[in-house]
């Protein structure tokens, strides 16, 4: 398992936060790729347990109507 943050990009930058330099493991948002996948898996499970109307409302508001959690994927790219 890699111990680099899932959000790190070349140049010691972060694709999530607007910081000039990645602070590595001291960052409160730091997660490995594996930890991020597990976090998304739990979030998708919570979303799948909501009622259909609630899921539709969330999808419309946050993901252009797309219900990623119903598609069987483990992660959202981008």
pLDDT digits (tens, 9 = 90+) for 19-42: 888 888 899 999 999 999 999 999
On the question of pLDDT at 74 being above 80, the answer is no
Q: Report pTM.
A: 0.71
pLDDT, one tens digit per residue, over 36-69 is 999 999 999 999 999 999 999 999 999 999 998 9
On the question of pLDDT at 2 being above 80, the answer is no
Looking at residue 72, its pLDDT comes to 61
Nearest CA to 74 out of 40, 46, 31 is that of: 40
Alpha-carbon torsion (12, 15, 19, 24), positive or negative: negative
- C-alpha to C-alpha distance for 40 and 23, rounded to whole angstroms: 23
């Amino acid at each position: 398992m890699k111990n680099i943050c899932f959000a790190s990009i070349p140049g010691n930058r972060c694709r999530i936060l607007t910081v000039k330099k990645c602070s590595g493991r001291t960052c409160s948002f730091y997660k490995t790729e594996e930890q991020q996948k597990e976090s998304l898996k739990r979030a998708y499970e919570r979303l799948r347990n909501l009622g259909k109307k609630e899921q539709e409302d969330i999808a419309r508001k946050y993901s252009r109507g797309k219900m990623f959690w119903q598609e069987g994927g483990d992660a959202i790219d981008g």
